[in-house]
């Protein structure tokens, strides 16, 4: 099993915006499905990507563009935490109907509270780690990306550190600031999967694909320009990793905190189930039932169906199991950390249906045991509560886990960081955060319960 400190769940987050249509956000399923427009635009690159990942279990395909809202720049409320101001108008969207019924949703943006901005995030020291390379190879890499020699020659010898599995380099701010977007795009992605350098090296994706949309009027123009200066494209995803460099340009401590919080914003989905006089309530109640449920969804659905105008809704929060209901849209409480180990995607997925959470799910040594004991492998996700594991084919390292909700909506916590809340989000958005050149595959696990066994019999 992998070392927790290197958990890929700390990978950068991602989402992208069409260059030709700045009003809408175009989201592409990053592993298999792509938008039609995007396929045309990036045909060569995408084809390679698809070839590499040909063994991946196919989730419901996305045949057409998935336009996620004209940006909802609003924020869900987080208990004990703050959220951020909404910036643009949002739009209510309809999910594809299915056994889950007709879901409608809109987006909100969450922002971690100041209490979650821990000291290492304020580091102004950039650290690059070149895994499985020596100094000569690093220099060759610099040459390959056409980094001018005068730039890397100014790096003092004391900034180079040889490690057992690579080279650690602490580049001067002048070098970091001088990189072109293309050079960042070439140098940074391999480093973003390694969480052993600076806390921010995992970086983040600019959700919505526009720095200005993300921060709105909350930051000075000068700061926005500097962020744009060091942002780069990772495939279709606008990314940013040079927080230490950025902080070094900001003298005001309060503004530094504000910058970190704003750059840590996360987009989440708020959804509700539409119930009409024609809805099959028994079927809906069956779909939205989970093991050990503490109430039956049927009476809630019945009440919604009696809406005099014929379009009653049930907020999805009432259909989630109690633990998911408690944690969704919240950030990790630092007090819940166990010896520095914090709830991550696996903790969130394993505890989804539990009435009381178990921190045993923090121990990566027992995860396979949980899967063998409490779940059965199934071919494809089709039920509320199905647990999906994303793993690397090469060494079967578990990269990520999440829970299927309905359609392309998932419940996830994307990493153990205090900056990553439990959220509902679109599957393709979540997977974009785990985009990698390595071959990966998904496994679908269904909770084993007496009820479901009886039902299937």
Partner 1 sequence: MAFLRILPAAVTVSLWLAFLSCTSVLLNAQSPVKQVHQSEPGPWGNLEYYYTYLEAPEQTIRMMSVPSQQTEWKFPGISPDQQAGIYREAGLTEDQIAELMDPQRRIDSPSLLRTFPSSKLLLSLTPQTRSALYHRLGQWKENQFHFRPIVFEQGDIREWFADSGMEPELLQAFEALAWKRDNVLLFSDVPYLLSLVATSEEHTTLLRGLTRTRTMILRLKLSPESDVDVLSEYWTGGHKHQDILPLLESIIRTEGVERLDVAHLLPPLPRKHLYAFPSPVDGLQGQFPGGFWTSVNFFNLIPRHLYGATPELDQTVRSDFIPIQPPFRFGDILFVARQTDRAVMHACVFIADDIVFTKNSADMFSPWILMKMDDMLTHHRKGQSIFLNGWRSRGSVYTDETMNYSPEGTTSGVLQEDAAGAIP
Chain residues in the site for partner 1 (CB under 8 A): 72-77, 79-86, 88-92, 104, 106, 108-109, 111, 113, 115, 270, 272, 292-296, 298-300, 302-304, 306-308, 312, 315, 317-318, 322-323, 325-327, 329-330, 333, 335, 355-356, 451
Tokens 């320009």 belong to which residue?
Answer: 225
State in angstroms the smallest separation of the CB of 81 from partner 1.
7
Helix axes 221-230, 253-263, angle to 10 degrees: 50
Q: At which residue do the structure tokens 């039902």 appear?
A: 455
Smallest gap, in angstroms, from Cβ of residue 282 to partner 1?
11
Please tell me the distance from the alpha carbon of residue 324 to that of residue 319, in angstroms, as a whole number: 10
Ramachandran angles phi, psi of 245, nearest 5°: -65, -45
Q: For partner 1, which is the closer residue by CB, 221 or 356?
A: 356
The least distance separating partner 1 from the CB of residue 113, rounded to whole angstroms, comes to 7
Instruction: Tell me which residue of 441, 453, 450 sits closest to 388, measured CA to CA.
Output: 441
Return the closest-CA partner of residue 351 out of 452, 422, 420, 442.
422
Two tokens at 292? 């050990």
| CA atoms of 342 and 323, how far apart (whole Å) | 16
We find the least distance from the C-beta atom of residue 452 to partner 1, in angstroms, to be 13
Burial class (CB in 10 A: 0-12, 13-18, 19+), 242: buried
> Minimum Å distance from CB 78 to partner 1?
8
When the beta carbons of 105 and 370 are compared against partner 1, the nearer one is: 105
In angstroms, give the least distance from the CB of 404 to partner 1. 21
**With contact defined as beta carbons under 8 Å apart, do 370 and 390 qualify?**
no
Cβ-based nearer residue to partner 1, 82 or 341: 82
Closest distance to partner 1 from the beta carbon of 90 (Å):
4
* Choice between 56 and 341, CB closer to partner 1: 341
Question: In the bound complex, what is the minimum distance in angstroms from residue 83's beta carbon to partner 1?
Answer: 4
- Smaller CB separation from partner 1, 99 or 113: 113
Within 8 A by CB and 6+ apart from 281, the residues are 275, 298, 301, 302, 305
Nearer to partner 1, 12 or 279 (CB): 279
* Closer residue to partner 1 (CB): 75 or 176: 75
Categorise residue 281: left if φ over 0, alpha if ψ from -120 to 50, beta otherwise. Answer: alpha
Please say which residue, 58 or 451, places its beta carbon nearer to partner 1. Answer: 451
Closest distance to partner 1 from the beta carbon of 261 (Å): 12
> Which spans in 170-272 are helix H?
173-178, 181-192, 211-215, 221-230, 243-248, 253-263
Question: What are the angstrom distances between the C-alpha of 265 and each of 74, 113, 358, 452, 453?
Answer: 11, 10, 28, 38, 41
Phi-psi region of 385 (alpha: psi -120 to 50; beta: other; left: phi over 0): left
For partner 1, the closer of residues 89 and 180 by Cβ is: 89
Q: Rounded to the nearest whole angstrom, what is the least distance from the CB of residue 428 to partner 1 in the complex?
A: 21
Q: What DSSP state is assigned to residue 339?
A: T
Is the CB of 222 or the CB of 280 nearer to partner 1? 280
DSSP states along 409-423: EEEEE-SSSTT--EE
- At residue 319's C-alpha, the angle toward residues 317 and 323, to 5°, is 70
**Among 271, 247, 226, residue whose Cα is nearest residue 101:** 271
Smallest separation (angstroms) from partner 1 to the CB of 348: 14
Cβ proximity to partner 1: between 273 and 398 the closer is: 273
């Amino acid at each position: 099993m992998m070392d927790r400190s290197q958990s890929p769940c700390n990978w950068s987050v991602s989402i992208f915006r069409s260059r030709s249509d700045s009003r809408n956000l175009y989201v592409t399923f990053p592993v298999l499905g792509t938008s039609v427009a995007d396929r045309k635009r990036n045909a060569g690159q995408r084809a390679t990507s698809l070839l590499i990942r040909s063994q991946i279990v196919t989730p419901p395909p996305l045949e057409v563009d998935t336009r996620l809202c004209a940006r909802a720049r609003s924020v869900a409320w987080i208990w004990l935490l703050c959220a951020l101001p909404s910036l643009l108008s949002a739009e209510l969207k309809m999910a594809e109907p299915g056994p889950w019924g007709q879901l409608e949703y809109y987006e909100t943006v969450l922002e971690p509270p100041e209490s979650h901005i821990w000291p290492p995030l304020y580091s102004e020291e950039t650290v690059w780690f070149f895994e499985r390379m020596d100094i000569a190879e690093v220099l060759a890499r610099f040459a390959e990306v056409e980094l001018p020699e005068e730039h890397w020659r100014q790096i003092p010898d004391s900034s180079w550190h040889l490690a057992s599995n690579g080279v650690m380099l602490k580049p001067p701010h002048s070098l970091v600031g001088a990189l072109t977007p293309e050079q960042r795009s070439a140098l940074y992605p391999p480093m973003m999967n390694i969480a052993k350098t600076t806390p921010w090296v995992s970086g983040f994706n600019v959700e919505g694909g526009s720095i200005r949309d993300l921060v709105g009027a909350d930051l000075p123009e000068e700061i926005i320009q500097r962020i744009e200066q060091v942002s780069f494209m990772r495939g279709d995803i606008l990314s940013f990793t040079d927080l230490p460099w950025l902080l070094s340009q900001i003298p005001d401590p309060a503004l530094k905190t504000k910058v970190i919080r704003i750059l840590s914003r996360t987009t989440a989905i708020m959804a509700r189930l539409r119930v009409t006089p024609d809805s099959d309530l028994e079927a809906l109640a069956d779909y939205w039932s989970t093991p050990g449920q503490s109430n039956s969804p049927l009476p809630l659905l019945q009440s919604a169906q009696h809406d005099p105008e014929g379009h009653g809704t049930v907020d999805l929060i009432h259909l989630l199991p109690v633990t998911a209901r408690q944690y969704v849209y919240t950030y990790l409480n630092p007090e819940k950390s166990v010896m520095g180990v914090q709830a991550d995607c696996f903790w969130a997925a394993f505890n989804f249906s539990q009435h009381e959470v178990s921190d045993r799910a923090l121990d990566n040594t027992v995860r396979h045991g949980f899967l063998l004991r409490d779940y059965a492998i199934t071919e494809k996700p089709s039920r509320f509560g199905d647990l999906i594991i994303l793993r690397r084919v090469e060494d079967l390292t578990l990269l990520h886990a999440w829970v299927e909700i309905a359609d392309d909506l998932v419940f996830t916590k994307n990493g153990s960081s205090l900056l990553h809340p439990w959220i509902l989000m679109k599957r393709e958005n979540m997977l974009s955060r785990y985009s990698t050149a390595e071959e990966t595959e998904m496994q679908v696990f269904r909770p084993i319960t007496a009820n479901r066994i009886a039902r299937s019999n």
